[in-house]
Structure 1
């Protein structure tokens, strides 16, 4: 079973569960949804009995199976849903395939379970490459199966804007597509496919995705990354930029100097966008505002922006960036929404105390944020960036660099033992990131995420993996096969998953980490969050 339950005891008796069986009691809808392929029916009594225990946490449950059927006791709807997912994993792999008449043996067990971390996330970059709504819904189903509960959607970057705006329609009319896409590796001359790429979610799509996710105990966390990474926004509305100059939606990778103006019209623009997102998604407890990899050169060169910073009593553009992000966080707080940022925003200072920090540059930055009183979601490049190849083999398909193996993910500790108890208590959880510069389609998403996201799920739910993880994963792959997940095989890629013929040497994780260490070392001299 993945993720591993907190306690699992074998019982001698067993039973049989048939398609069309009856489930009764409280929270029945959650259990039926978790076992939707079995077409369970509600009733006054049945093979599966469900009841609520207010003494358990919302996501906690007890599951007992035996000769008398199945009993589920859950703290809340999420607990009942996760109990249903665990029950499903007790059944044969074939139970994950559609069947109109099936009967499955259920071994006798007693499970007592609750998650170690509240935030168990996956990030999907839909800006660099767009993935249609059907793929997002499928990913939500796979996350729910693994008890992952936060889907972080990176909705905008230099290479595209991915959501309808009725207030600013040029965003989806102009900024949602680019005429071509870079196909080169790092250290190669630029090359392009000359194929237009684009797409966006309507607000109705977003509402549907939000409701679909909530029904499966997943929260969508939308990201509007500002003030940098702004080429796509400025392609539609150049007046919102620091210079007013025209931009194109970027067709290559890397960091762009494009930056939004920090002036009041930009705050008004982004606040309106937030209102549209919040209104569409419904219950939206978190919005991510980015704050990473911001090139401040255009702000520093602008007399108007310099004068504006001085009028606010700010000392230079670094303070201005911190002030700008704080205005957005305050606006979100007024709407009952908590702000999430990448770690550069913490280093720049002035964060609201309730802002959540994602330390992508390493857990040293995360520890500093936790020590300053910020909640933290562990997101370090190594080992939680799943756009890195899983081995250094030349057979691996195009990736940003080499190599992050499933063993690296399985060994990760989101709340390191050498942190203080207070710092460890600030770790909300852990999240894997899939940036998609070199992930052009849904099949590659499967290959990059799975089974590394299985290890992530176990770390997030149980706090770490156990010695038997490899054996349990080998069995779990049969479930992924039944669901049609095109994961990376342990022996390496299938022939149709392999690289293109020419592959120069990629960027090694060690090189990336050396650069990140240098970045964070430089940041040590800056003031902490205020």
Structure 2
């Protein structure tokens, strides 16, 4: 058993002499509380091995048999585990059920990579090397955001994505469910949100401002039954799903469905163009009431502690030019449109808090009064993370230049639709969620970090694979593993890990660049230099209230 077999890198590995081999006598033992984890372990080991792996309680194995034993130890940390392999089998002990689950993920990595195949792999010896592993995560929020608004990912693709997150010890899926280009969650009280807002007549093809449209309708949405299934599937893998309904900007799909929600009351279409949109929600009490009903249904579907309300990229041009909005600002005793945005988000935040949940929002929220109990997603560099932590708010770091997986992966001209600055595998591995200059108490406000997968230029799960992997492998290790980082060591372990992704059919980016079918020749991008991008981000965060 060697550290080169495992990704993310564990805290400690001690090797032994010999191997334990799974065979027809091997069973799984687990207490009642761990029965769901044992059933999951059966489900991922049986297809490739063809072994029955019967499950029992904590009774001793039959004479001559061997076991995969699952147990709990409250002295271990939350999500931590201990894996011991010897002549009698493998024992996985966790500080909680999540820790046992992560120990099972480690066990899979100790087996040959064919274990990740979905049908029996003949001629493979299913051997686990003797030794011991002790491990626990660095951060409690280890996340990935998936944008299903720009390009819809069908339910089966989301379930597959959840399996890939679990494989990498990621415990949070932030689902970006609404935007100008699509509304993806069924709301029973407001059916036109999906009848009208879930599809658009075409999509922008490329990143340049003058890029053409493709002339192809695009759409889809999740029924409430779908979302309950996704949430339950995620929970079985110890992943919390955080829904995001983006307001008051990024709302054209909702306005297309219900024009009275807009400032001008115009008939709009679900937007076929990317970028920051000036069509935003009006600030009437009726619009606020509409969205409180939306959030009520969303909170019924997603039982986790965090509810995303967006708050990002909300140009106030329409508010500033609208007499009715200016009247509302005066009536509410506000100083201007930025305070109006804070008022709107504050009302939603109070409603969310009254349901016992916490608001999760982008770092633009720091430009005004902040809803109580908020978790700030710091995306425009690390300014938001540093400011929020110093002001006493919890933070999830997701700086664009280190964790935005829609950014191009190299300077190669063959990169598909090259956008923004290069974010290489080494850049992703260099991500640190804790910004410099914080005190110990301030650093404790950093819950962790996440990779963000914006899908303007990812029109299929195959494209998502290319942009996400293996950079997500690097970020997963950053968020899980403690101690000094060594990129060269990571590359050694990654090359072993890629065989697992191959077995799963993940179409990741190869070390030497995209395969011909992963390129997008002739489709314009919007690349930038790091200096120009840093200047842009500095301008965007200038309004954050220190």
- Residue of structure 2 in register with 1:36 after alignment: 43
Cα distance in 1 for partners of 2:277, 2:324 equals: 22
Deviations 1:269-312 (A, max 9, x none): 1111112122223x221111110110112222223222222222
Matches within 5 A, 1:47-446: 47-100=67-120, 103-186=125-208, 189-281=210-302, 283-352=303-372, 354-446=373-465
Describe how 1:375-524 pairs up with structure 2 within 5 A. 375-463=394-482, 465-467=485-487, 468-501=489-522, 506-520=527-541, 522-523=542-543
CA contact (8 A) 1:222 1:288 kept: yes
Cα offset, 1:51, TM superposition: 1.5
Which residue does 2:30 correspond to in 1?
25
Tell me the TM-score normalized by structure 2.
Answer: 0.92
Of residues 9, 16, 29, the one that matches 1:11 is 16
Over the residues paired in the alignment, what is the CA RMSD in angstroms?
1.7
The CA deviation string for residues 169-204 of structure 1, in whole angstroms up to 9 with x for no partner, is 0000000111111113315x3311111100000010
Answer yes or no: is the 8 Å Cα contact 1:342–1:357 preserved in 2. Answer: yes
Offset at 1:19? 6.7
Contact 1:399 1:438 in 2 (8 A): no
Q: Which runs of 5 or more structure 2 residues have no equivalent in the other structure?
A: 1-5, 47-52, 62-66
1:374 Cα shift?
0.5
**Against the structure 1 CA distance between its residues 312 and 20, is the aligned structure 2 distance closer, same or farther, given a 3 Å change threshold?**
farther
1:177–1:197 CA contact under 8 A, matched in 2: yes
SS state at 1:107 partner? strand
Alpha-carbon distance, 1:230 to partner: 1.3
Partners of 1:394 and 1:503 within 8 A in 2: no
Is contact 1:35-1:84 (8 Å) kept? no
The verdict on how the C-alpha distance between 1:13 and 1:333 changes in structure 2, with shifts beyond 3 A counting, is: same
Q: Is the 8 A contact 2:395 2:447 kept in 1?
A: yes
Measure, in 1, the Cα distance between the counterparts of 2:411 and 2:292.
44
Deviation at 1:388, TM superposition (A): 0.7
Are 1:35 and 1:88, in contact at CA under 8 Å, matched by a contact in 2?
no
2:82 is paired with a residue whose SS is: strand
Deviation of the 1:359 alpha carbon: 1.0
Aligned length: 522
Aligned equivalents of 1:416 and 1:425: distance in 2?
A: 11
Q: 1:227 to 1:313 in 2, by over 3 A?
A: same
